[in-house]
């Protein structure tokens, strides 16, 4: 129970960074994808249901596991876990986005508070991933792109499971590779995805695949 085993816990930060080609980006750096350039002005997403596993079995689950990772200011954010010292693990598992049960449970607080700007007002549900900026690939107003990815209902759920190989003693530094995300966008893609549906689902899969583990330097 909390409070009685404090001496036996260790804090494990999960660090997130905006990257391209495994190198950390400053927000507003230009990202070149073939002949198009992209600049990210907003990047934030929810991660949830964080678990550590050992040999395929769950050894630790975070309670009330919902975190809004905000990469829009410094390009970096971290989430702190506190695992008991005695645990061995070889895998970190979390969801990119909010599970459907939480989506229908009503209004929540903390990182899930609707004032965070990650909850659709005209249709219920969380925005799992928000990426905004400008790109020469967009002939929208001001060349702006807005990807607000979410939706939990059949047939277009968007939550993604992310697996990371790791072990005690190793720092966990995850890069969100925006260049990889933009590279996978269809040449005739739309620059605005702001509601649940097939596009939101496709882009969510791409976002999930854009996470990579940055090795210790």
Residues in the site for another protein, rule: CB under 8 A? 1, 4, 104-109, 112-117, 119, 121-124, 153, 156, 196-197
Beta pairing class for 9-20 and 30-33: unpaired
Nearer Cβ to another protein, position 96 or 112? 112
Q: Could you tell me the smallest distance in angstroms from the CB atom of residue 115 to another protein?
A: 4
Q: How many residues does the chain have?
A: 217
Task: Work out how close the CB of 166 gets to another protein at its nearest, in angstroms, rounded to a whole number.
Answer: 32
Q: Which residue has the tokens 């829009």?
A: 72
Region for residue 169 given its phi and psi (left: phi exceeds 0; alpha: psi -120 to 50; beta: otherwise): left
Per the rule left: phi > 0, alpha: psi between -120 and 50, beta: everything else, 125 is: left
Report in angstroms how near the CB of residue 43 gets to another protein at its nearest. Answer: 19
Relative to beta strand 127-135, strand 144-150 is: antiparallel
Rounded-to-10 torsion of CA 68, 74, 75, 79: -40
Give whichever of 25 and 199 is closer to another protein, judged by the CB atom: 199
Task: List phi, psi (to 5°) of 181.
Answer: -60, -45
Task: Output the smallest distance, CB 124 to another protein, in A.
Answer: 5
Q: CB 211 → another protein: shortest distance, Å?
A: 28
Provide Rg for the chain, Cα atoms.
Answer: 18
26 versus 113: smaller Cβ distance to another protein: 113
28 vs 104, beta carbon nearer another protein: 104
For residues 16 and 119, which CB has a smaller minimum distance to another protein in the complex? 119
For 42, the 3-state DSSP assignment is strand
């Amino acid at each position: 129970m909390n409070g009685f085993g404090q001496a036996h816990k260790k804090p494990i930060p999960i660090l997130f960074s905006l990257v391209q080609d495994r190198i950390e980006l400053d927000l507003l750096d230009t990202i070149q994808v073939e002949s198009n350039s992209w600049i990210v002005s907003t990047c934030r997403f929810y991660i949830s249901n964080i678990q550590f596993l050992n040999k395929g079995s769950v050894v630790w689950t975070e309670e009330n596991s919902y975190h809004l990772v905000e990469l829009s200011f410094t390009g970096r954010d971290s989430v702190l876990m506190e695992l008991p010292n005695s645990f061995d693990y070889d895998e970190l598992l979390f969801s990119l986005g909010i599970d459907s049960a939480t989506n229908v449970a009503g209004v929540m607080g903390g990182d899930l508070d609707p004032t965070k700007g990650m909850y659709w007002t005209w249709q219920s549900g969380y925005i799992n991933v928000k990426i905004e900026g400008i790109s020469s690939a967009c002939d929208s107003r001001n060349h702006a792109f807005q990807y607000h990815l979410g939706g939990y209902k059949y047939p277009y759920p968007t939550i993604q499971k992310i697996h990371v190989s790791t072990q005690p003693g190793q720092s966990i530094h995850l890069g969100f590779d925006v260049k990889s995300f933009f590279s996978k966008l269809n040449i005739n893609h739309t620059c605005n995805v702001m509601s649940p549906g097939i596009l939101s689902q496709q882009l969510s899969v791409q976002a999930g695949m854009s996470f990579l583990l940055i090795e210790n330097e």
